[in-house]
Amino acid sequence: MSAAVHQVGFDIERIRADFPILTERVHGKKLVFLDSAASAQKPRSVIDTMVRTMETRYANVHRGLHWLSERCSDDYEAARDKVAAFLNAAREEIIFVRNTTEGINLVAQTYGRSALKPSDAVVVSEMEHHANLVPWQMLRDQHGIDLRIVKITDAGDVDFDDLERVFTDGRVRLLAITHMSNVLGTYTPVARLAAFAHERGAKILLDGAQAVVHRAVDVKAIDADFYVFSGHKLYGPSGIGVLFGKYALLEAMPPFMGGGEMIRSVSFATSTWADPPFRFEAGTPAIVEAIGLGAAIDYVDSIGFDAISAHERRLTDHALATLATIDGVTTLGRAQDRGGVVAFTLEGIHAHDVATLLDKQGIAVRAGHHCAEPLTRRLGVESTARASFGVYTTLDEIDALAVGLRRVQQVFGR
């Protein structure tokens, strides 16, 4: 993408004006929000859509035989259409869940328990968020599958030699892996991974919690079997997430939870299930939140992923270059293809102290193991600080981080 397009497609001041929270002050300082990978801030259009829904068009969905319920059901289903278009999927393949975590648990408990046999193996990578590790450990303990871990290289890429190794005995039926690491920033080569898994008779689940925010995702082009993400990282509300599954797989899966909405008919003796996606949406869903997610997708589409990716590439390059000039700062991950998160350590200073001292300067970063404890252990670090970027992040904010880090070092006499 050319620089000219970048200029035209991306007016950072206009974008910042869309996010009311960015004018807030923290400890009397201008807010520098560098924690979007944990959860992103919300644009006015998302906030307004949700408020307008509650003020003018709200009722329960799919049950009322009245005007409001019909309008609200239309809006809710329109949000499903938006998500379907966003991922290049069919609407019947889009299941609303609470978040990425719930989406992965749903697959583990339904697909995992019905399609996998105790003698089958599931593979996850060393750089998974706990959300894509713990559900498989639970399935292993309940159901007896073998859980295998594929290594990453020191640069932070998937180690394909090791992938060959874990697949050699032909027992692997599912590869569950991140599309972008929330610690190392690594984008995994998802189409190649999908082809690799499919050639060996396995399905692939992609944790898109981070990737979906930074790049256009086409589940057909990738040939993903399952793809999961959360609304709150995509400038949408919390409490809503998405599970995409290929229809044939979803159709063969039993329900996750039982209750209203997910049934075809119920008697005291037994019930029959509705078709996907409703089979997996028991009970009253997060109605306003789903509609808010639809507005978030409209917002992201209005900027366009070409512009978003280019902006974040510039921010990430600038952050890596700037942090490299500070003595004692080590950044994690050297993947060729990486997105807008930069985790780092400061020599002799614990990440919590870094985060607290930055916070006093109005700068919000994340500190800890980022819900990827086995990964931080694998990297040989106890805890790290992480700066992560969104559409509203500026180069100046990264410079402010660098100044802030030097102040932290001064407090510690380094």
Ligand X SMILES: Cc1ncc(COP(=O)(O)O)c(C=O)c1O
Count other C-beta atoms under 10 Å from residue 360's C-beta: 15
Is residue 130 part of the contact set for another protein (CB under 8 A)?
no
- Nearest 10 degrees: CA dihedral of 140, 141, 142, 148? 0
Is residue 351 part of the contact set for another protein (CB under 8 A)?
yes
Query: Cα–Cα distance between 206 and 54 in angstroms, integer?
Result: 33
The β-bridge relationship of strands 121-125 and 271-273 is unpaired
Q: Give the one residue of 360, 378, 394, 399 binding another protein; rule: CB under 8 A.
A: 360
Cα distances from 279 to residues 114, 257, 409, in angstroms, run 15, 9, 55
Q: Give the one residue of 6, 369, 378, 406 binding another protein; rule: CB under 8 A.
A: 369
Residues 21-40 touching another protein, rule: CB under 8 A, are 27
Q: What is the nearest approach in angstroms of ligand X to the Cβ of residue 127?
A: 9
Query: Cα–Cα distance between 116 and 40 in angstroms, integer?
Result: 35
Tell me, by CB under 8 A, how many residues bind another protein.
20
Is residue 356 part of the contact set for another protein (CB under 8 A)?
yes
Burial class (CB in 10 A: 0-12, 13-18, 19+), 111: buried
Given the rule CB under 6 A, which residues bind ligand X?
99-101, 129, 131-132, 178, 182, 207, 209-210, 230, 371
Q: What is the nearest approach in angstroms of another protein to the Cβ of residue 129?
A: 15
Q: What is the nearest approach in angstroms of another protein to the Cβ of residue 345?
A: 13
Per the listing, tokens 């007016």 go with: 11
Choose from ligand X, another protein, none: what does 351 bind? Cβ within 5-8 Å by kind: another protein
Instruction: Give the DSSP H or E segment for 149.
Output: strand 146-150
Choose from another protein, ligand X, none: what does 382 bind? Cβ within 5-8 Å by kind: another protein
72 is catalytic: no
Choose from another protein, ligand X, none: what does 261 bind? Cβ within 5-8 Å by kind: none
Per the listing, tokens 């694998």 go with: 378
DSSP readout, 44-106? Answer: HHHHHHHHHHHHHS---SSS--SHHHHHHHHHHHHHHHHHHHHHT--GGGEEEESSHHHHHHH
Residues 193-232 touching another protein, rule: CB under 8 A, are none
Q: Which residue out of 194, 217, 363, 371 is catalytically annotated? A: 371
Residues designated catalytic: 371
Chain contacts with another protein (rule: CB under 8 A): 27, 349-353, 356-357, 359-360, 367-369, 373, 376, 382-383, 411-413
